[in-house]
């Protein structure tokens, strides 16, 4: 038992306490995202439990928390609505057909995500530029902050309005108290997670002080739910008999599945990257893809909402001392226990305490240093940072990251396209030498071609690639066309100091290149230490 525990955690006490803290924060989040998707709150809670447990045990990042997320909930809405419409119009109407469509879709999502892990696509998260990461973090902090503002509303007789008067003052006071406890308690002791202590203290004040405040229970009832009490997730045998209802709608199911898989993986891998930086360790993106996929398949089979990694809860966990797999396991199991046994207690937790915790997450997540460096970094990086932040708030986390990466890639391509140079000189025998400097790829082809004057060049031409490299097929095509132009003019051309990889690609594209590639000159820059050692031996 001790051996197993040591594999799951280096500090069991911290992991258990931080896991309980996260579980408390997961309840309103899972419920709120279920309401967004238009499904029963228990489906969201089951989804958070299954996502959290599977990824905690098998995921690529110990300490990272997964569950039902808003980013994926927004994608699900339209498909669920369409499914319900189809179900109502069948000869024998099927109630909540959209929910069953969701379970079927999650099976496909899981397969796609597992395939991403098998083909090791998780490593591409390492290619995300730092300005994109910083913009993503800032945008995420703003999104979390804005999502909490909705909890400053109340519903009376079916009408929702902003809190005012005494109710608003009580809410603000409790939020401020929660934040103050989280700020000052770690200065006194780090043995107790500050977030957990703040939630317990504020809950005791409201319960024993008889304060009329919004609680987890009232939040569920106001949203149309019937309460937190439920049983164990049930195997959804009926989904296999409902595939016939998808006839004519497979385009919607598949497009939604691919979008859910992409959103889930991007958000999860970005969260993994962020937690890596906080903990100064390194997780496995490919392993996380596999775990996310398996968890979503389990959600589809057992009636969960599905989901992905949750940045806010992951930061709460890590900052509370949860660094091992045990913290995620405790969070998931505790969440299920809340549903099975502790609903009456959890429903009494004031929403203000959870809002205060999330506000502290916002403060800790936002990269405040971006204000200090915005005038010191290159303008292109500043533009990318601001753009990603804005798109994250306006659209979606995954879209924001894709936009940022595309902009960064285009900027990089443009800058490298203008870097190619050609130094011109003549040998004693009259041969004109072009010494190429810079990468030859699709973006630099036009500038590369402009360096040569085929008609006026002498009979013998040499193009030296000692300080250049042909990077892609477009570069090979450009080089092939240039050589053809010289040969048509009956001129002799040689290509020297090509890298071995480039030679292979050129000869594969056109075996006739063997006549123009200089084979008698060795580039001393290609030698490595082992070559010299082997020669001496």
pLDDT surpasses 50 at 53: yes
Determine, yes or no, domain membership for 200. Answer: yes
Q: Which residues form the domain of 410?
A: 385-416
Q: Number of C-alpha atoms within 13 angstroms, CB side, residue 244?
A: 4
Alpha helices per DSSP H over 59-190: 70-89, 97-118, 130-149, 165-188
Pairing of strands 308-309, 66-67: antiparallel
Determine, yes or no, domain membership for 252. Answer: yes
Three-class DSSP category at 495: strand
Pairing of strands 492-496, 159-162: unpaired
The residue that leads in pLDDT, 347 or 201, is 201
- The answer on 267 and 195 residing in a single domain is yes
The residue that leads in pLDDT, 270 or 206, is 206
The pLDDT of 280-288, averaged and rounded, is: 89
pLDDT at 252 (0 to 100): 92
What is the pTM assigned to this prediction? 0.72
Query: What confidence tens digit (pLDDT) does each residue in 237-263 have?
Result: 999 989 988 898 999 999 999 989 988
pLDDT at 223 (0 to 100): 67
Distance CA 449, CA 477 (A): 12
pLDDT at 526 (0 to 100): 44
- The answer on 185 and 279 residing in a single domain is yes
Domain count, the chain: 3
Q: What is the DSSP letter of 350?
A: B
Under a CB-based contact definition with an 8 Å cutoff, are residues 460 and 430 in contact? yes
- The answer on 291 and 199 residing in a single domain is yes
Alpha helices per DSSP H over 283-431: 285-302, 311-319, 325-340, 343-346, 351-365, 369-373, 379-394, 397-417
pLDDT surpasses 50 at 527: no
Under a CB-based contact definition with an 8 Å cutoff, are residues 30 and 228 in contact? no
Smallest CA-to-CA distance from 343 within 160, 221, 174, 223 is with 221
pLDDT at 3 (0 to 100): 60
pLDDT at 521 (0 to 100): 44
- The answer on 60 and 153 residing in a single domain is yes
Q: Which residues partner with 160 through β-bridges?
A: 155
pLDDT surpasses 80 at 220: no
The pLDDT of 500-528, averaged and rounded, is: 68
- The answer on 355 and 422 residing in a single domain is no
Query: What confidence tens digit (pLDDT) does each residue in 67-123 have?
Result: 988 778 878 888 998 999 999 888 888 888 999 999 999 999 999 999 999 998 877
* pLDDT band with cut points at 50, 70 and 90 for residue 529: very low
pLDDT surpasses 80 at 7: no
Q: For residue 394, what are its two tokens?
A: 């306006």
């Amino acid at each position: 038992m001790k051996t197993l525990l040591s594999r799951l955690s280096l500090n069991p006490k911290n992991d258990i306490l931080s896991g309980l803290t996260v579980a408390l924060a997961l309840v309103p989040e899972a419920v709120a995202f279920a309401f967004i998707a238009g499904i029963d709150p228990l489906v969201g809670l089951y989804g958070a439990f299954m996502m959290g447990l599977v990824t905690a045990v098998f995921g690529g990042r110990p300490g990272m928390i997964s569950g039902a997320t808003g980013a994926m909930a927004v994608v699900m809405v339209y498909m669920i609505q369409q499914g319900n419409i189809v179900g109502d119009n069948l000869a024998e109407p099927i109630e909540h057909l959209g929910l069953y469509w969701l379970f079927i879709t999650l099976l496909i999502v899981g397969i796609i995500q597992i395939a991403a892990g098998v083909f090791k696509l998780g490593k591409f998260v390492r290619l995300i530029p730092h300005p994109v990461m910083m913009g993503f973090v800032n945008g995420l902090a703003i999104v979390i902050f804005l999502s909490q503002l909705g909890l400053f509303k109340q519903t009376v007789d079916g009408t929702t309005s902003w809190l005012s008067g005494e109710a608003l003052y009580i809410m603000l006071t409790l939020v401020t108290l929660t934040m103050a406890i989280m700020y000052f308690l770690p200065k006194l002791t780090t043995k107790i997670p500050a977030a957990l202590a703040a939630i317990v203290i504020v809950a005791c004040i409201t319960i024993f002080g008889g304060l009329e405040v919004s609680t987890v229970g009232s939040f569920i009832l106001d949203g149309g739910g019937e309460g937190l009490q439920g049983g164990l997730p049930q195997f959804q045998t009926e989904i296999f008999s409902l595939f016939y209802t998808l006839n004519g709608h497979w385009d919607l199911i598949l497009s939604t599945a691919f979008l859910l898989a992409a959103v889930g993986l991007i958000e999860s891998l970005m969260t993994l990257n962020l937690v890596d930086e906080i903990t100064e360790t390194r997780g496995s993106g490919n392993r996380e893809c596999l775990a996310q996929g398996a968890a979503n398949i389990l959600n589809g089979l057992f009636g969960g909402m599905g989901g992905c990694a949750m940045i806010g809860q992951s930061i709460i966990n890590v900052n509370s001392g949860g660094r091992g797999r045990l913290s995620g396991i405790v969070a998931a199991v505790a969440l299920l226990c809340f549903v099975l046994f502790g609903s009456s207690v959890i429903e009494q937790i004031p929403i203000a305490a959870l809002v205060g915790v999330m506000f502290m997450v916002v403060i800790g997540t936002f990269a405040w240093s971006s204000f200090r460096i915005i005038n010191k970094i290159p303008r292109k990086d500043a533009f990318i940072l601001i753009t990603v932040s804005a798109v994250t708030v306006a659209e979606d986390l995954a879209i924001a990251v894709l936009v940022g990466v595309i902009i960064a890639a285009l900027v990089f391509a443009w800058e490298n396209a203008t870097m190619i140079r050609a130094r011109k000189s003549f040998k004693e025998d009259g041969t004109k030498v072009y010494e190429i400097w810079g990468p030859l790829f699709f973006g630099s082809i036009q500038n590369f071609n402009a360096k040569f004057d085929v008609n006026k060049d002498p009979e013998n031409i040499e193009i030296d690639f000692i300080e250049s490299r042909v990077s892609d097929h477009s570069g090979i095509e450009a080089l092939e066309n240039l050589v053809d132009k010289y040969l048509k003019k009956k001129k002799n051309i040689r290509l020297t100091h090509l890298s071995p990889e480039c030679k292979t690609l050129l000869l594969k594209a056109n075996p006739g290149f063997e006549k123009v590639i200089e084979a008698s000159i060795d580039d001393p820059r290609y030698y490595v230490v082992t070559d010299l050692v082997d020669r001496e031996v």
